Structure formats: C-alpha cells, structure tokens
C-alpha cells in the first residue's frame, strides 16, 4: 500500500526536496505524468482545476488516479486544485480527492479565513486523512501565456505575504498546507521572464507558519529560483502552463507530420512526448537529480 500523501510530504521535507504537482485535462496528460514520475521513481501529485475536473469528471479523475496507485502500488495522488466555492469543495471531498485547495485569494482576508476554515472542518469530518490547502495573496488565475502581469496580482514586495500574516491565517483556519504569494505568478509571460521569487520570505514564512508550503505558478520560474525555493522550505510545486504549451505544440507537430492519420492514439503521441519532457525536467530539478 502506498503511503498517505501527508507522509510523502513529510518525507519530502526531511529530504529537502519538493514533490511535483502537474495539472491534467485528460488521460494523455495523466499517463505522461505517471510514466515520467515512475521512470524516475518519484512520488507525484495530479492536479485538476474546476474546469479540468469538469472535463474529465470529478469522480472519474479520482478513480483514474486511484487505479494507477493501486495497480502499480505507486505514490500518485490527486488534488482538487483551485476550488473557488464551498459547494465545489464539498463535491471534491465527496468524490474522494486526496487533497483539496480552497482558493479565496481574491476575497477579503476575513472571507478567505472564514471559508478556508469551513472547508477544513467539513473536509476533515468526512475524511480525516484529506489534506486542505489555502491560498494567501492573489497571483492571477489562469495557466496561460501572458502579455503582461495580470491585473491585481501581488508581486511587489510590499504586497507579498508577511510571515506573521501566514501564521495568523494558519492558526485561524487549521489548513494543512499554505500557498503564499512570494513573487510567483500563474501563467508565463510571453516576452519576458517571470518575476524572481522572494526566497528569504519563503524561508521566514515556512519558519513562522510551521506547515508545509506550496509554490504555485511554476511555469516561467528559473531553475535557480526553483532550487533555492525548495532549499528555503517549499514542499510542493505546481506546473501547468508549460505542460499545456508542450502538449499543444507536440500535438500540432504530430498532426502536421501525419496529415492522413486518424487514430488518436497515434496522432496524440507528439503531445504526450512533449508533456513527458516537461515533467521529467521539473521533477529532476525539484529533486536535485
Ligand atoms: O495550480 C496550478 C499552478 O499553480 C500552475 O501554474 O500555470 O504558472 O505553471 P502555472
Ligand atoms: Zn495554482
């Protein structure tokens, strides 16, 4: 039996590495991520946003990941990524997700705290093993290529999460995992590098908050920032845009190379290979391999 996700996160902390969290919309993505992680013998988390899980089916997404975990006796887990309402938290908890994220980053702080706590109380009452994460500080919402920094995204030092704020949030909500705004952004800038992370802030937040930290917006972050963030106390890193881009570009290449091909399992190959390369590259970085 694979260990619980909580145990896997604890082990990552002890080893000073981070677990890769990659989003999927379909089984092509799921197999690409699973095979890449398995090839490196590393645990992995599959993420599905509200839109992604609607496309697969929330219960079906859980069943697919669980079937890989059981058949291969492998540490692969599924997270209900960025969930914006308590109703959808309930749906995800009932569907059997290993972890859920209540994302109230755009709400007032009071409302974020109230709904994050409500999510924790409800989730734990149904499944004491489930992990609940919350978001503190707005970093944009879309995993896409960006022309500019999303409006309202908190990337200036004065707007980033302060360590004492993180502690207060954790104490008031009881969340298991915290994703603070530390200079990161959802999405990837088209014509420039994404902003640098505030590494010292990550370290201080981890010390003060006392729970594992999650870094969102992994696409567009430099290799150096990734590894320094892990050294500073990040335990899980989310990547989506880079994976979507590789999927689309690989698929377009396959289609162009095989204009007569009708079998999806053949013309999808380029997309799957592209995703595998992105997953492998990131997993190696997060695990200092
Ligand atoms: O939850 C998903 C991630 O935070 C993805 O961010 O699209 O910038 O890689 P990204
Ligand atoms: Zn995210």
pTM for the predicted model, two decimal places = 0.98
Ligand 1 near 219 CB (within 6 A): yes
* 159-164 mean pLDDT: 96
Is 81 a known active-site residue? yes
47 lines ligand 1 (CB under 6 A): yes
Q: How many domains does the chain have?
A: 1
Nearest CA owner, ligand 1 atom 2 = 238
pLDDT in tens, 51-70: 999 999 999 999 999 999 99
Strand 19-23 to 44-48 pairing: parallel
Tell whether residue 238 is among the known ligand binding residues.
no
Q: Assess contact for 79 and 98: CB atoms under 8 A.
A: yes
Tens digit of pLDDT for each residue in 90-130?
999 999 999 999 999 999 999 999 999 999 999 999 999 99
Q: What CATH number corresponds to the domain at position 86?
A: 3.20.20.70
Could you list the residue range(s) of the whole structural domain that residue 150 is in? 5-286
pLDDT number for residue 1: 86
> Is residue 143 a contact partner of residue 241, using CB atoms and an 8 Å limit?
yes
Percent of the chain with pLDDT over 90: 99
Q: What is the mean pLDDT of the chain?
A: 98
The C-alpha atoms of residue 121 and residue 172 are separated, in whole angstroms, by: 12
Distance (Å, rounded) from C-alpha 141 to C-alpha 149? Answer: 11
Q: Give the pLDDT band (50/70/90) at residue 219.
A: very high
């Amino acid at each position: 039996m694979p260990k619980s996700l909580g145990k896997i996160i604890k082990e990552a902390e002890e080893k000073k590495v981070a677990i890769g969290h990659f989003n999927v919309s379909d089984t092509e993505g799921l197999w690409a991520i699973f095979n890449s992680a398995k090839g490196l013998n590393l645990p992995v988390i599959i993420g599905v946003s509200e839109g992604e899980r609607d496309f697969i089916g929330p219960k079906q997404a859980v069943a697919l990941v669980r079937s890989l975990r059981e058949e291969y006796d492998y540490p692969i887990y599924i997270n209900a990524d960025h969930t914006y309402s308590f109703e959808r938290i309930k749906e995800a908890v009932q569907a059997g997700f290993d972890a859920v994220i209540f994302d109230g980053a755009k709400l007032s702080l009071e409302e974020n705290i109230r709904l994050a706590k409500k999510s924790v109380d409800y989730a734990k009452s149904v499944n004491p093993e489930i992990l609940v994460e919350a978001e503190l500080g707005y970093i944009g919402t879309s995993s896409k290529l960006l022309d500019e920094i999303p409006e309202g995204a908190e990337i200036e030092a004065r707007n980033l999460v302060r360590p004492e704020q993180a502690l207060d949030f954790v104490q008031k909500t009881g969340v298991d995992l915290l994703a603070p705004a530390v200079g990161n952004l959802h999405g990837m800038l088209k014509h420039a590098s994404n902003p640098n992370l505030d590494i010292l802030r990550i370290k201080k937040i981890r010390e003060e908050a006392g729970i594992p930290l999650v870094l969102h917006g992994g696409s567009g972050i430099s290799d150096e920032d990734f590894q320094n963030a892990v050294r500073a106390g990040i335990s899980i890193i989310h990547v989506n845009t880079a994976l979507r881009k590789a999927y689309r570009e690989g698929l377009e290449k396959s289609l162009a190379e095989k204009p007569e091909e009708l079998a999806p399992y053949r013309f999808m190959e380029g997309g799957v290979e592209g995703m595998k390369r992105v997953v492998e590259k990131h997993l190696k970085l997060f695990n200092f391999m």
